[in-house]
Amino acid sequence: MCQTPDQRLHPLWERYHHPLVRDLAWLLETPDVLESPGIARPGLKELGLDGRALAAWLDALEQAPHTLGARIGSSRRGRLGHYHERLWQFLLAEAPGTHLLAHNLPIIEDKRTLGELDLLYRNSATPAPIHLEVAIKFYLGLPEGPGEDSSQARWIGPGCADSLAIKYQHLQQHQLPLVYSPQARRLLSDLLDDCGDPTSEIKQRLALPGVLFYPWQHDMSPPQGAHANHLRGEWLTWRCWPAFRYRLPANTRGCILRKPHWLALPPHTDLYSLSDLSAQLVQYFNLPRAPLLLGLHSPEIGWSRVFVAGNEWPYQIPLPPIPTLHSP
Protein backbone atom coordinates (compact mmCIF):
# COMPACT_ATOMS: atom_id res chain seq x y z
CA MET A 1 0.00 0.00 0.00
CA CYS A 2 1.28 3.48 -0.86
CA GLN A 3 2.06 5.54 2.20
CA THR A 4 -0.29 8.43 2.81
CA PRO A 5 0.80 11.71 4.48
CA ASP A 6 0.14 10.61 8.08
CA GLN A 7 2.19 7.44 7.61
CA ARG A 8 5.22 9.00 5.90
CA LEU A 9 8.15 9.48 8.26
CA HIS A 10 8.41 13.18 7.46
CA PRO A 11 5.09 14.62 6.27
CA LEU A 12 5.22 18.27 5.24
CA TRP A 13 3.10 19.52 8.14
CA GLU A 14 5.68 18.29 10.69
CA ARG A 15 8.06 20.96 9.40
CA TYR A 16 5.98 23.73 10.98
CA HIS A 17 5.21 24.83 14.54
CA HIS A 18 2.20 27.14 14.17
CA PRO A 19 -0.96 24.97 14.37
CA LEU A 20 -2.77 26.82 11.56
CA VAL A 21 0.21 26.51 9.22
CA ARG A 22 0.46 22.80 10.08
CA ASP A 23 -3.22 22.37 9.20
CA LEU A 24 -2.82 24.23 5.89
CA ALA A 25 0.13 22.00 5.00
CA TRP A 26 -1.92 18.90 5.90
CA LEU A 27 -4.81 20.12 3.75
CA LEU A 28 -2.58 20.77 0.75
CA GLU A 29 -0.88 17.37 0.76
CA THR A 30 -3.76 15.12 1.87
CA PRO A 31 -5.60 13.27 -0.94
CA ASP A 32 -9.37 13.36 -1.23
CA VAL A 33 -11.33 10.45 0.19
CA LEU A 34 -13.01 9.81 -3.18
CA GLU A 35 -12.02 10.29 -6.79
CA SER A 36 -14.14 12.88 -8.60
CA PRO A 37 -13.39 12.53 -12.32
CA GLY A 38 -13.90 15.81 -14.14
CA ILE A 39 -14.45 17.78 -10.90
CA ALA A 40 -11.06 17.52 -9.24
CA ARG A 41 -9.94 19.73 -6.36
CA PRO A 42 -7.74 22.77 -7.06
CA GLY A 43 -4.23 21.45 -7.68
CA LEU A 44 -0.97 22.99 -6.50
CA LYS A 45 -0.22 24.30 -10.00
CA GLU A 46 -3.57 26.11 -10.16
CA LEU A 47 -2.91 27.62 -6.73
CA GLY A 48 0.54 28.78 -7.84
CA LEU A 49 2.14 26.52 -5.23
CA ASP A 50 3.75 23.78 -7.32
CA GLY A 51 7.41 22.85 -7.02
CA ARG A 52 9.38 24.76 -4.40
CA ALA A 53 6.72 27.46 -4.14
CA LEU A 54 4.65 25.49 -1.62
CA ALA A 55 7.34 25.22 1.05
CA ALA A 56 8.40 28.84 0.48
CA TRP A 57 4.79 30.06 0.89
CA LEU A 58 4.25 28.04 4.06
CA ASP A 59 7.63 29.17 5.42
CA ALA A 60 6.54 32.78 4.99
CA LEU A 61 3.26 32.09 6.80
CA GLU A 62 5.16 30.45 9.65
CA GLN A 63 7.17 33.64 10.07
CA ALA A 64 4.13 35.96 9.81
CA PRO A 65 0.88 34.08 10.58
CA HIS A 66 -1.17 37.16 11.53
CA THR A 67 -3.29 37.29 8.36
CA LEU A 68 -3.98 33.57 8.62
CA GLY A 69 -5.02 33.87 12.27
CA ALA A 70 -7.34 36.79 11.50
CA ARG A 71 -9.07 34.88 8.68
CA ILE A 72 -9.60 31.74 10.78
CA GLY A 73 -10.78 33.65 13.85
CA SER A 74 -13.08 31.89 16.29
CA SER A 75 -13.62 28.89 13.97
CA ARG A 76 -10.60 27.31 15.69
CA ARG A 77 -12.98 26.58 18.56
CA GLY A 78 -16.00 25.63 16.45
CA ARG A 79 -17.23 22.96 14.09
CA LEU A 80 -14.75 21.00 12.01
CA GLY A 81 -16.57 21.79 8.75
CA HIS A 82 -16.60 25.53 9.46
CA TYR A 83 -12.90 25.52 10.32
CA HIS A 84 -12.10 23.59 7.14
CA GLU A 85 -14.05 26.12 5.03
CA ARG A 86 -12.13 29.02 6.61
CA LEU A 87 -8.84 27.38 5.67
CA TRP A 88 -9.99 27.15 2.05
CA GLN A 89 -11.13 30.78 2.13
CA PHE A 90 -7.68 31.87 3.23
CA LEU A 91 -5.97 29.57 0.73
CA LEU A 92 -7.89 30.86 -2.29
CA ALA A 93 -7.55 34.48 -1.16
CA GLU A 94 -3.81 34.39 -0.41
CA ALA A 95 -2.28 31.74 -2.69
CA PRO A 96 -0.35 33.38 -5.55
CA GLY A 97 -2.37 31.69 -8.32
CA THR A 98 -5.95 32.37 -7.20
CA HIS A 99 -8.29 35.19 -6.23
CA LEU A 100 -11.26 34.61 -3.94
CA LEU A 101 -14.47 36.21 -5.29
CA ALA A 102 -17.05 35.15 -2.70
CA HIS A 103 -17.86 32.49 -0.15
CA ASN A 104 -20.96 31.03 1.49
CA LEU A 105 -23.30 32.56 -1.06
CA PRO A 106 -26.93 31.77 -0.13
CA ILE A 107 -29.21 30.84 -3.03
CA ILE A 108 -32.73 32.03 -2.16
CA GLU A 109 -36.14 31.58 -3.75
CA ASP A 110 -39.19 33.31 -2.23
CA LYS A 111 -37.40 33.81 1.11
CA ARG A 112 -36.51 30.10 1.20
CA THR A 113 -32.82 29.19 1.17
CA LEU A 114 -32.13 26.47 -1.41
CA GLY A 115 -28.52 26.07 -0.30
CA GLU A 116 -25.16 27.83 -0.36
CA LEU A 117 -22.27 27.97 -2.79
CA ASP A 118 -19.18 27.35 -0.69
CA LEU A 119 -16.56 29.25 -2.69
CA LEU A 120 -16.16 31.21 -5.92
CA TYR A 121 -12.71 32.11 -7.19
CA ARG A 122 -10.62 32.79 -10.27
CA ASN A 123 -7.16 31.59 -11.15
CA SER A 124 -4.46 33.47 -13.00
CA ALA A 125 -4.90 31.42 -16.19
CA THR A 126 -8.52 32.33 -16.98
CA PRO A 127 -11.06 34.99 -16.01
CA ALA A 128 -13.89 32.43 -15.86
CA PRO A 129 -15.25 31.94 -12.32
CA ILE A 130 -14.72 28.60 -10.58
CA HIS A 131 -17.19 27.14 -8.11
CA LEU A 132 -15.62 25.01 -5.37
CA GLU A 133 -17.52 22.83 -2.91
CA VAL A 134 -15.57 21.56 0.09
CA ALA A 135 -16.22 18.96 2.79
CA ILE A 136 -13.95 17.20 5.26
CA LYS A 137 -15.06 13.80 6.46
CA PHE A 138 -13.86 11.12 8.87
CA TYR A 139 -15.77 7.88 8.32
CA LEU A 140 -15.61 4.49 10.03
CA GLY A 141 -16.14 1.35 7.97
CA LEU A 142 -18.66 -1.31 9.06
CA PRO A 143 -17.67 -4.93 8.37
CA GLU A 144 -21.40 -5.69 8.34
CA GLY A 145 -24.03 -3.27 7.18
CA PRO A 146 -26.08 -2.01 4.26
CA GLY A 147 -25.07 -3.00 0.75
CA GLU A 148 -22.03 -4.84 -0.50
CA ASP A 149 -18.65 -4.82 1.22
CA SER A 150 -17.54 -1.86 -0.92
CA SER A 151 -20.77 0.14 -0.52
CA GLN A 152 -20.27 3.78 0.44
CA ALA A 153 -23.25 3.33 2.79
CA ARG A 154 -21.06 1.19 5.07
CA TRP A 155 -18.84 4.16 5.89
CA ILE A 156 -20.49 6.26 8.58
CA GLY A 157 -19.57 9.22 10.75
CA PRO A 158 -18.61 8.68 14.41
CA GLY A 159 -21.86 10.36 15.47
CA CYS A 160 -23.90 7.90 13.32
CA ALA A 161 -25.69 10.83 11.65
CA ASP A 162 -24.48 10.45 8.07
CA SER A 163 -22.56 8.23 5.69
CA LEU A 164 -20.17 8.59 2.80
CA ALA A 165 -22.99 7.57 0.46
CA ILE A 166 -25.35 10.25 1.81
CA LYS A 167 -22.70 12.98 1.66
CA TYR A 168 -21.48 12.15 -1.82
CA GLN A 169 -24.97 11.92 -3.26
CA HIS A 170 -25.88 15.28 -1.71
CA LEU A 171 -22.80 16.88 -3.23
CA GLN A 172 -23.41 15.39 -6.67
CA GLN A 173 -27.16 15.92 -6.85
CA HIS A 174 -27.68 19.14 -4.89
CA GLN A 175 -24.60 21.17 -4.02
CA LEU A 176 -22.79 21.04 -7.37
CA PRO A 177 -25.89 21.43 -9.63
CA LEU A 178 -27.11 24.37 -7.50
CA VAL A 179 -24.83 26.78 -9.36
CA TYR A 180 -26.84 26.18 -12.57
CA SER A 181 -30.21 26.97 -10.99
CA PRO A 182 -32.08 30.09 -12.23
CA GLN A 183 -31.70 31.64 -8.77
CA ALA A 184 -27.93 31.14 -8.80
CA ARG A 185 -27.69 32.45 -12.37
CA ARG A 186 -29.35 35.71 -11.35
CA LEU A 187 -27.12 36.10 -8.31
CA LEU A 188 -23.92 35.37 -10.23
CA SER A 189 -24.91 37.68 -13.10
CA ASP A 190 -25.06 40.55 -10.61
CA LEU A 191 -21.89 39.52 -8.81
CA LEU A 192 -19.81 38.71 -11.89
CA ASP A 193 -21.20 41.07 -14.53
CA ASP A 194 -17.79 41.34 -16.20
CA CYS A 195 -17.96 37.69 -17.29
CA GLY A 196 -21.02 37.86 -19.53
CA ASP A 197 -23.14 34.84 -18.63
CA PRO A 198 -21.04 33.44 -15.77
CA THR A 199 -22.77 30.07 -15.60
CA SER A 200 -22.32 29.35 -19.31
CA GLU A 201 -18.62 28.60 -18.77
CA ILE A 202 -18.25 28.26 -15.03
CA LYS A 203 -15.89 25.52 -13.92
CA GLN A 204 -16.42 23.37 -10.87
CA ARG A 205 -14.12 21.83 -8.31
CA LEU A 206 -14.75 19.48 -5.40
CA ALA A 207 -12.42 19.00 -2.42
CA LEU A 208 -13.22 16.07 -0.13
CA PRO A 209 -10.22 15.42 2.15
CA GLY A 210 -10.51 13.25 5.23
CA VAL A 211 -9.69 9.84 6.65
CA LEU A 212 -11.29 6.42 6.25
CA PHE A 213 -10.99 4.24 9.36
CA TYR A 214 -10.91 0.50 8.74
CA PRO A 215 -12.15 -1.90 11.43
CA TRP A 216 -9.27 -3.40 13.38
CA GLN A 217 -8.76 -7.14 12.77
CA HIS A 218 -11.40 -7.19 9.99
CA ASP A 219 -10.65 -7.30 6.29
CA MET A 220 -12.70 -4.68 4.48
CA SER A 221 -12.59 -3.31 0.96
CA PRO A 222 -12.27 0.43 0.34
CA PRO A 223 -15.55 2.11 -0.58
CA GLN A 224 -16.51 2.34 -4.22
CA GLY A 225 -14.71 5.26 -5.86
CA ALA A 226 -12.11 5.64 -3.10
CA HIS A 227 -8.97 7.56 -3.98
CA ALA A 228 -6.08 5.12 -4.38
CA ASN A 229 -3.97 7.00 -1.83
CA HIS A 230 -6.70 8.04 0.60
CA LEU A 231 -5.66 8.54 4.19
CA ARG A 232 -6.30 5.46 6.34
CA GLY A 233 -6.81 4.86 10.02
CA GLU A 234 -8.23 2.09 12.19
CA TRP A 235 -11.12 1.88 14.61
CA LEU A 236 -11.90 -0.52 17.44
CA THR A 237 -14.24 -0.80 20.39
CA TRP A 238 -13.16 0.03 23.92
CA ARG A 239 -13.11 -3.64 24.96
CA CYS A 240 -10.45 -4.25 22.27
CA TRP A 241 -8.14 -1.47 23.47
CA PRO A 242 -5.98 -3.67 25.78
CA ALA A 243 -5.25 -6.12 22.96
CA PHE A 244 -4.62 -3.29 20.50
CA ARG A 245 -2.31 -1.52 22.93
CA TYR A 246 -0.37 -4.73 23.58
CA ARG A 247 0.56 -4.94 19.88
CA LEU A 248 1.88 -1.38 19.70
CA PRO A 249 5.62 -0.72 19.99
CA ALA A 250 6.50 -0.06 23.63
CA ASN A 251 7.75 3.46 22.84
CA THR A 252 4.44 4.52 21.23
CA ARG A 253 3.10 7.83 22.47
CA GLY A 254 -0.22 9.48 21.70
CA CYS A 255 -3.01 11.85 22.63
CA ILE A 256 -6.73 12.44 22.24
CA LEU A 257 -7.61 14.73 19.30
CA ARG A 258 -10.43 17.20 19.90
CA LYS A 259 -12.50 18.88 17.20
CA PRO A 260 -11.75 20.87 15.14
CA HIS A 261 -8.12 19.85 15.60
CA TRP A 262 -8.37 16.68 13.52
CA LEU A 263 -6.16 17.74 10.61
CA ALA A 264 -2.41 17.85 11.21
CA LEU A 265 -1.36 15.67 14.10
CA PRO A 266 0.05 17.42 17.20
CA PRO A 267 3.67 18.21 18.09
CA HIS A 268 5.54 15.42 19.83
CA THR A 269 5.62 17.53 23.01
CA ASP A 270 1.83 17.10 23.28
CA LEU A 271 1.98 13.30 23.33
CA TYR A 272 1.57 11.04 26.38
CA SER A 273 2.91 7.62 27.23
CA LEU A 274 0.61 4.68 26.53
CA SER A 275 0.04 4.28 30.27
CA ASP A 276 -1.07 7.88 30.70
CA LEU A 277 -3.20 7.74 27.54
CA SER A 278 -4.87 4.52 28.70
CA ALA A 279 -5.71 6.15 32.05
CA GLN A 280 -7.43 8.99 30.19
CA LEU A 281 -9.44 6.48 28.17
CA VAL A 282 -10.49 4.56 31.27
CA GLN A 283 -11.87 7.75 32.79
CA TYR A 284 -13.62 8.73 29.55
CA PHE A 285 -15.30 5.36 28.93
CA ASN A 286 -16.64 5.03 32.47
CA LEU A 287 -19.87 6.33 30.94
CA PRO A 288 -21.40 5.78 27.47
CA ARG A 289 -19.54 8.17 25.23
CA ALA A 290 -19.03 9.19 21.62
CA PRO A 291 -16.01 7.67 19.84
CA LEU A 292 -12.63 9.27 20.57
CA LEU A 293 -10.01 9.99 17.92
CA LEU A 294 -6.40 9.30 18.91
CA GLY A 295 -3.15 10.32 17.28
CA LEU A 296 -0.37 7.76 17.89
CA HIS A 297 3.32 7.87 17.03
CA SER A 298 6.27 5.53 17.28
CA PRO A 299 9.67 5.84 15.59
CA GLU A 300 9.21 2.43 13.93
CA ILE A 301 5.75 3.02 12.45
CA GLY A 302 5.43 6.78 12.28
CA TRP A 303 2.02 8.43 12.74
CA SER A 304 -1.32 6.66 12.85
CA ARG A 305 -4.90 7.59 13.69
CA VAL A 306 -7.23 5.39 15.68
CA PHE A 307 -10.87 5.82 16.68
CA VAL A 308 -11.84 4.10 19.94
CA ALA A 309 -15.62 3.62 20.13
CA GLY A 310 -17.93 2.50 22.91
CA ASN A 311 -18.66 -1.21 23.04
CA GLU A 312 -22.19 -0.72 21.70
CA TRP A 313 -21.18 1.52 18.79
CA PRO A 314 -22.70 2.10 16.24
CA TYR A 315 -25.84 3.12 18.09
CA GLN A 316 -27.67 3.44 14.79
CA ILE A 317 -26.78 3.10 11.13
CA PRO A 318 -27.85 5.87 8.74
CA LEU A 319 -30.20 4.65 6.03
CA PRO A 320 -28.63 4.52 2.56
CA PRO A 321 -29.73 7.36 0.26
CA ILE A 322 -32.65 6.67 -2.04
CA PRO A 323 -31.22 5.57 -5.42
CA THR A 324 -31.92 7.85 -8.38
CA LEU A 325 -31.13 7.73 -12.06
CA HIS A 326 -28.23 10.14 -11.45
CA SER A 327 -26.63 8.36 -8.51
CA PRO A 328 -22.85 7.87 -8.83
Residue 287's nearest CA partner among 316, 310, 253, 262 is: 310
Task: Please give the average per-residue pLDDT across 237-249, as a whole number.
Answer: 97
Domain assignment of residue 155, yes or no: yes
CA–CA separation, 6 vs 31, rounded Å?
A: 11
Would you state the pLDDT for residue 199? 54
Name the 3-class secondary structure at 225.
coil
Residue 141's nearest CA partner among 289, 298, 33, 278 is: 33
Domain assignment of residue 118, yes or no: yes
pLDDT tens figures, 58-71: 999 999 999 999 98
Would you state the pLDDT for residue 7? 61
Would you state the pLDDT for residue 328? 39
- Check the CA dihedral 111-117-118-121 and report its sign: negative
The total number of structural domains in the chain stands at 1
Domain assignment of residue 304, yes or no: no
Task: Please give the average per-residue pLDDT across 263-286, as a whole number.
Answer: 96
pLDDT tens figures, 120-155: 999 988 878 999 999 999 999 999 999 999 999 999
**Contact criterion met (CB below 8 Å) for 223 and 230:** no
pLDDT tens figures, 204-229: 999 999 999 999 999 999 999 999 99
Domain assignment of residue 222, yes or no: no
Upstream peptide bond of 260 is cis (omega within 30 degrees of 0): yes
Would you state the pLDDT for residue 3? 55
Q: Any idea what the Cα angle at residue 160 is, between residues 157 and 164, rounded to 5°?
A: 40
Domain assignment of residue 98, yes or no: yes
pLDDT tens figures, 151-210: 999 999 999 999 999 999 999 999 999 999 999 988 888 877 655 555 557 899 999 999
Task: Please give the average per-residue pLDDT across 233-241, as a whole number.
Answer: 97
Domain assignment of residue 303, yes or no: no
Task: Describe the chain by its helix, strand, coil percentages, rounded to 5.
Answer: 35, 25, 40
Given a cut of 90, whether residue 15 has pLDDT beyond it is yes
Quote the domain boundaries for residue 137. Answer: 12-214
Residue 235 burial (CB count, 10 A): 25
pLDDT tens figures, 73-123: 877 777 999 999 999 999 999 999 999 999 999 998 888 889 999 999 999
Domain assignment of residue 69, yes or no: yes
Confidence of residue 326 (pLDDT cuts 50, 70, 90): very low
Domain assignment of residue 147, yes or no: yes
